[in-house]
């Protein structure tokens, strides 16, 4: 039972590192690697990318080792990012925010984000080196499909969020007239214009 839970965690982390969690969760659930909860949350997806990637037991062991080796660095980078985000928010939320301090905190936050990306990239590179050329091609195809699905979801959300007519922007002229902007367009969802 403990090994099964470790395998669930391992594959979740692998897929997260590779950026295919959204697509892969149902396939993993079907193979008994991830709780059925993931399958219930994403019933519309029927792909089984992990089955398509077809990791060998040796690859799984090597990936587990790579994850263990990089875990401390990834955790440290994530901690640094959380602290930098808090410091940035505190600088912005101050009663009299200093522009210099906010800029410094923003730079620190950006550096922390870059550190997280570097840690992820190191792990992803190690994992990709363990894959065969066919597995890398399949992974690339999965990532392209994931990006396309995300793009389509964003487009659908935009369509669903449109109320009466086109969304205001500088190109369609609805934003050019301050009177129109003030009287007809809400500044934020849920905020009534004065």
For the entire predicted model, the pTM comes to 0.56
Q: Using a pLDDT cut of 90, give the percent of the chain over it.
A: 47
| pLDDT tens digits, one per residue of 38-63 | 333 443 443 445 556 889 999 989 99
Using CA atoms, how far apart are residues 145 and 23, in angstroms rounded to an integer? 9
| pLDDT tens digits, one per residue of 158-170 | 888 775 555 555 5
**3-state DSSP assignment of residue 31:** coil
Using CA atoms, how far apart are residues 110 and 81, in angstroms rounded to an integer? 9
Using CA atoms, how far apart are residues 144 and 150, in angstroms rounded to an integer? 10
- Sign of the CA dihedral running 106, 107, 111, 114: positive
Per the CB < 8 A criterion, the answer to whether 167 and 173 are in contact is no
Structure-model confidence comparison of residues 146 and 13, the more confident one: 146
Does the pLDDT value for residue 33 go beyond 60? no
Does the pLDDT value for residue 129 go beyond 80? yes
Using CA atoms, how far apart are residues 179 and 185, in angstroms rounded to an integer? 10
Does the pLDDT value for residue 17 go beyond 70? no
- Per-domain boundaries in the chain: 2-143
Does the pLDDT value for residue 131 go beyond 90? yes
Q: Which CATH number fits domain 2-143: 3.40.470.10, 2.60.120.560, 3.40.50.300, 1.20.120.1490?
A: 1.20.120.1490
Structure-model confidence comparison of residues 10 and 152, the more confident one: 152
pLDDT winner (highest mean) among 14-28, 54-68, 98-112: 98-112
Average pLDDT, the chain: 74
If you ran DSSP here, which 8-state letter would residue 99 be given?
H
Per-residue pLDDT, 158: 86
Annotate 127-189 with DSSP letters as a single string.
HHHHS-HHHHHHHHHHHHHHHHHHHHHHHHHHHHH--SSSPP-TTTTTTT-HHHHHHHS-SST
Structure-model confidence comparison of residues 141 and 177, the more confident one: 141
């Amino acid at each position: 039972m403990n090994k099964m839970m470790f395998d669930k965690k391992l594959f979740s982390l692998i897929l997260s590192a590779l950026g295919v969690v959204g697509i892969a969760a149902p396939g993993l659930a079907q193979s008994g690697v991830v709780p059925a909860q993931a399958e219930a949350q994403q019933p519309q997806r029927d792909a089984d990318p992990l089955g398509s990637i077809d990791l060998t037991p040796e690859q799984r062991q090597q990936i587990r080792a790579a994850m263990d080796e990089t875990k401390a660095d990834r955790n440290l980078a994530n901690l640094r990012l959380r602290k930098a985000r808090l410091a940035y928010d505190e600088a912005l939320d101050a009663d009299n925010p200093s522009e210099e301090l906010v800029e410094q905190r923003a730079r620190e936050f950006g550096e922390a984000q870059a550190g997280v990306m570097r840690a992820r990239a190191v792990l992803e590179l190690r994992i990709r080196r363990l894959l065969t050329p066919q597995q890398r091609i399949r992974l690339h195809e999965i990532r392209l499909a994931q990006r396309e699905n995300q793009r389509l979801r964003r487009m659908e959300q935009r369509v669903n969020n449109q109320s009466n007519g086109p969304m205001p922007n500088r190109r369609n002229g609805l934003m050019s007239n301050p009177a129109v902007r003030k009287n007809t367009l809400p500044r934020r969802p849920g905020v009534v214009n004065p």
